[in-house]
Every structure is written in structure tokens, then in C-alpha cells.
Amino acid sequence: MEAQSADASRPAKGRVVMLVDNKVDGDSRVQKAAESAAAAGWDVVLLGLVRSGSGRTWKLGDAEVRLLPLKTPLSKRHADRHRSPLRRPFAYPPGPMAAYRRQWVKAWRVDLSTRRAALKVAPAAVGTPLFRKAEKVRLTVAGPVSRFMQKWVEFRARQAGQAQKAGRALRGPLDRAFTAVWKGVKGRRAWRRLEPVLWDYELTYGKEIDALKPDLIHANDFRMLGVGARATVRARAAGRSVKLVWDAHEFLPGVRPWEDNAHWIPGNTAHESEYAPFADAVVTVSEGLGDLLRERHGLKEQPTVVLNAPDRPVERDPAIEDVEPEPDLRELCGIGPDVPLVVYSGSPGPQRGLGDMVEALPGLDGVHMAFVVPSPAAAYIQSLLSRAQELGVGDRLHAVPYVKHWQVVRFLSAADVGCIPIHHWPNHEIALITKFFEYSHARLPLVVSDVRTMSEMTRSTGQGEICRAEDVDDLVRAVKAVLADPEKYKAAYDKPGLLDTWTWEAQAEVLDALYTGLVPETSKERS
């Protein structure tokens, strides 16, 4: 019989379970993929996670979103669970002991001080003359002993802190040897020792996927690849036909590690290498990344490119906007229409060049900058705002939150310049990132750094200026050049066909065709 949607109200092409290792909000690619696939007739359930609290469920168009509560006991490193007798032999064991001993010795010192004072100011309250003599002897001995004990406890506590820090960084000779041994012994299976936290994702998602009995699993990025591959293997072993699509967002060996330890890259790349062969199809964000993945994993076919393009801008619908109009970027920044405004929209981080933008502000008289980010209250963003205050330009830097993905283009169009000053990292060189397309559809002149793919495209279209990455003076030059003649750069968007393929609607057709090829009509019957 025909596959049914989750609410059993309409026939579907087949059930697609999408996997992502985040809370879905803020991940526009995943949101658009789920919503457009459901609109194309697939029964879509998108599984994400929450790192604290309980899960929740909501609808994204016709797609169902389920957030699962993630518990990560396997993320605890050896240093979080054991003492380190070779590195820090005097350190307290992991746990509350160091804090307990520090507080205990402080209390002892306060007690001794109080007892000495009591002998002076209220001897009768202390006790009999004989007791006071004995107390004085005790305090005479206890004073130096307590001072020594306090220093000893502080030393051991420092050792414990250093051991914890070194143990989490995992960069010492023993750590390198540990990594090398397990890579040599286990090869692609070494992640089980180097990154056991990946099992926490399996234990969070696995049973949920099995219960949904998908026809196709769409695994986003490297963590979900293993989860999806294992679910595919289980389903096939149970006699069901399931296809696995791996959506690779980045080239993992070229990623800046998400955690500050030396196991992260070797462990996660080993995990990816083990499960890449299980994918029936690979989707990625650029031809360049596809080439790297095909070479690294020996893929039989070139990955399908699905760009991180925005929704096609549509005419304003008053009926919808009465309910949820997009915010006004300039109003959020507290500035009028004639104030020059440079915008950065996307995930923040030092490698994204936001610090360079802040340092450039003193050289851009009268120019304001807006950072459109997931959390304006985040520590990194607050540090940038503080730096702007130090430079005397705090009133010209603004941090505002993300808007809904279908509001992004109109929201950004209020700016004068779209800025992408990212640094030279392997993944930055090989793809046109989401904000490039969003700025383009907002018809913003661009200022981009000289990372390969993006600078080549910008130069060829004439839609912006190129600056040297991490060069504040050159960033200032590029922004001034664009603001001096914005119409020169905006004219690039009038070229026929330039923006037509840079829309999610065009990418959704590619994804739907891939799904349809993998899940033909004969495989969609459910028992």
C-alpha cells in the first residue's frame, strides 16, 4: 500500500527521516530541506536535539520536527574520571575533593583566628585558666601548621586544575602516543576510543529512527552519518529497504576543531571514514567539496551539489505580514535610512573575521555595523561589543538576533553592504557560503575576503570588492570603495539569470530528484 504521512491524512512519496545534531532553529539549510521535501510530497520527520531540558515537537510546514534530549555521559574525558599520577602526582582526584579541602582549610584558619581573638577579648568565655593555657599552646602550634596546610591544599588543588585542563586538551606526549596507538590498532574504528561521545548520539536517536521505519534517511554532517548508517544497517537486516543520504556540510579534516583537544579531528575523521561507504548518495554544498570527499572516501559517484541558497524573494503578502512581519534591521540598530550600514549575518567566531570588522570601525567615520547572530548575548559577541567600546565606537556596533529563514533576504536588504571577511581555512576556500547567497538576493554590494571560491565569484560577477583576509586596513579600503559607489556593484544583480539558480526552490528540485531516484515507487509499500 502507499506510504502514509505522519498524520495519515494524505499519501506520501515515502517517509524521510532527517537527522541533525542541533536544535534546528538557526539551521536554515536543514529547515528548508525538511519543509521543501514535505511540500514535494514526502512524509518528513526531522530529528534534532536539545542539550538541556526535555524534548519538544512542532510543525515546519508539512514536516514534523522532533527534538530529542541528548545526554552525554561518554563525553567525560579520562581526566574527568581518573587521577593523573604521572602528570600531576599530588593532584586531588576528579570530583568535589579539591573544593572541599580548600573550603575546609579556610574554615580552619578562620576558626584559629577567632579563637586567638577570643583569648584576648573574652578570656572568661573561653574557659578556665588551665584550659586557656592549653588553648594558647594549641593555637601556637596550629597556626604554622594551618598555614602550611593551606599552601599544601592550594598546591594540590592547582595540580588538580592543571591536570583537568591538560587532560581535556589531550595534547601532551602521552596523548599523542595514545592517539597514534589506537589509530594504528583500530584504523577507522579508532573513534570508539578517541571520541566515544559519538555513541551518545546513537543512543539518543537510534530507537526513534527505528520506530519511524523510514524509506530514506537524510543524515546531516559527520556526527549523524554514523547514526544514519547504523539505522540503515538495522533496517536492512530486518528486511526493509532503506536508503541513506549523507549531506556533508564541510570537509572535516579542514574544520577548526569544535573542542580544544587533540583527539577531536582524528576521532571524528575516523568515524566519518568508517561510515561514508554506507551512503547510497552524498549531497554537499559545492563542487570543490564534492571533489575532496570523492577523493578522500573513494566515492563511486560525484556528490550532488545542493547550494546553501535562500528562499526566492516573493511579493509581500499583507495577510501573512499582519501575523508575522519581519523586523526592521535599522530600527533594531536605532538608526535612520541615511546612515551607512554594514551587515554580517551568520555564525560568529574568530575565524569569521568579526574581530577584524570591529577593528575597522574607527577607520570608517559615521559607518555602523550590525552582527546578525544566533545569540547576541553570547560571550564572544559581548567581547566584541566591549572591544568596540574600548575603541570609542561602541555606539556604532549592534548585535541583533536571527530572523525566520523566509524573512532573511528582506531583513538584510535594509543594509548598504554585506560583509564576509572570513579567514583562510580549508573549508572557507571551497564553497559559497549561505550568507553570500542571502546578501546577493538582498541585492547588497559585497565586501569579501580573498578566500578562493568566493573571491573568484565576486570578481567575476562584479558584485563587490575583495580584501585581504585578516588585513584591517584593506577591509577599511574595500568598505569605503563600495560605499562610495554602491550602484556600480548593485548593477551586477541585473544580469539575466545571475540569481535564478541561487534560490532554494531550484535546489529543492535537485534534492527531490535525488530522493525520487533512490526511492522508486515499488519500494514505498509498507506492510
DSSP labels, 292-327: HHHHHHT-SSPPEE---PPPPP----HHHHTT-PPP
CA angle centred on 512, ends 62 and 406, rounded to 5°: 50
Q: What is the spatial distance between Cα 440 and Cα 489, in angstroms, rounded to a whole number? A: 11
Pairing of strands 56-60, 63-69: antiparallel
Domain 318-502, second-level architecture: 3-Layer(aba) Sandwich (3.40)
Residue appearing with cell numbers 604554622: 144
Residue 388 backbone dihedrals phi, psi, to 5 degrees: -60, -40
> pLDDT per position in the chain (527 positions), as tens?
344 445 544 457 999 999 999 999 889 899 999 999 999 999 999 999 998 888 899 999 999 999 999 988 776 565 555 556 666 777 877 778 888 888 888 888 888 888 888 888 888 888 888 998 898 898 889 889 999 999 999 998 888 877 776 655 556 666 777 778 888 888 899 999 889 999 999 999 999 999 999 999 999 999 999 999 999 999 999 999 999 999 999 999 988 887 777 788 999 999 999 999 999 999 999 999 999 999 999 999 999 999 989 887 665 555 555 556 789 999 999 999 999 999 999 999 899 999 999 999 999 999 999 999 999 999 999 999 999 999 999 999 999 999 988 899 999 999 999 999 999 988 889 888 889 999 999 999 999 999 999 999 999 999 999 999 999 999 999 999 999 999 999 999 999 988 988 999 999 999 999 999 999 864 555 44
Q: Are 349 and 371 in contact (CB under 8 A)?
A: no
CB 14 within 8 A of CB 524: yes
Question: 400 pairs with which residues across the strands?
Answer: 372
Compute the half-sphere exposure of residue 411: CA atoms within 13 Å on the CB side of its CA: 26
Whole-number Å distance between alpha carbons of 320 and 279: 40
Identify the DSSP state of 11.
B
Superfamily of domain 15-73+200-305: Glycogen Phosphorylase B; (3.40.50.2000)
Dist CA 343 CA 482 (whole Å): 13
Angle CA(139)–CA(142)–CA(144) in degrees, nearest 5?
Answer: 115
Dist. CA 412–CA 405, nearest whole Å: 11
What are the grid coordinates assigned to 328, written together? 526592521
β-strands 216-220, 63-69 pairing: unpaired
Amino acid letter for position 315: E
Q: Which amino acid is at 106?
A: K
The answer to whether 483 and 416 are in contact (CB under 8 A) is yes
Alpha-carbon distance 402 to 374, whole Å?
A: 5
Q: Within the chain, which residue ranges are assigned CATH 3.40.50.2000?
A: 15-73+200-305, 318-502
Number of C-beta neighbours around residue 110 at 10 A: 11
Nearest CA-CA partner of 201 in 357, 373, 22: 22
Sign of CA pseudo-dihedral 211, 213, 218, 223: positive
Q: Alpha-carbon torsion 129, 130, 134, 135, what sign?
A: negative
| DSSP H or E stretch at residue 243 | strand 243-248
Which of these, 377, 378, 351, 387, lies nearest to 369 by C-alpha position?
A: 387
Kindly state the DSSP code that residue 313 receives in the 8-state scheme.
Answer: P
Q: Measured between alpha carbons, how far is 448 from 353 in angstroms, rounded to an integer?
A: 10
pLDDT at 402: 93
CA 432/CA 273 separation, integer angstroms: 25
Residue 455 in contact with residue 448, Cβ under 8 Å? Answer: yes
